[in-house]
């Protein structure tokens, strides 16, 4: 199974936009890597993309990125043994329709 992570474009790695330097902060650590951008084309610095195995596969909007980050935080909490369902996936469990994600 492959897990895509939201990463932010911080620099172009070549002149034609086929590769970019992307990064994310994980648990106080900076993760930086070179990503192949050929599936989605050149992206501006500051753009968030989903990256799996060094390949950027889609541009991700802020709202969707927040949901992905919440899911990743839930997974990390479960692995650490302190998962609390009330703290995660509020877009699915909230009684407030404005907080629920439409499908």
Supply the range of the domain harboring residue 79: 61-95
100, pLDDT greater than 60: no
- Compute the average pLDDT of residues 53-70: 94
Tell whether 56 and 9 lie within a shared domain: yes
Which regions of 1-103 does DSSP assign to beta strands (E)?
Answer: 5-12, 19-26, 29-36, 48-52, 55-59
Q: What is the pLDDT of residues 4-61, one digit of tens each?
A: 999 999 999 999 999 999 999 988 899 999 999 999 999 999 999 999 999 999 999 9
DSSP state of 101: P
**Is residue 12 included in any domain, yes or no?**
yes
Q: What is the pLDDT of residue 94?
A: 65
pLDDT of residue 103: 44
Please check whether residues 7 and 35 belong to one and the same domain.
yes
- In sign, the C-alpha dihedral spanning 67, 69, 71, 73 is negative
Q: How confident is the model at residue 102 (pLDDT cuts 50, 70, 90)?
A: low
Q: How many domains does the chain have?
A: 2
Distance in angstroms (rounded) separating the CA atoms of residues 41 and 68: 22
Residues β-bridged to residue 39: none
């Amino acid at each position: 199974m492959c897990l895509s992570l939201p990463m932010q474009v911080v620099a172009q790695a070549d002149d034609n936009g086929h590769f970019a330097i992307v990064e994310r902060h994980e648990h106080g650590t900076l993760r930086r890597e070179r990503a192949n951008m050929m599936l989605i084309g050149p992206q501006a610095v500051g753009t968030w993309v989903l990256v799996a195995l060094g390949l950027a596969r889609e541009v991700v909007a802020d709202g969707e990125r927040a949901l992905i980050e919440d899911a990743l935080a839930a997974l990390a909490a479960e692995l650490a043994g302190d998962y609390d369902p009330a703290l995660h996936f509020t877009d699915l469990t909230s009684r407030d329709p404005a907080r629920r994600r439409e499908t």
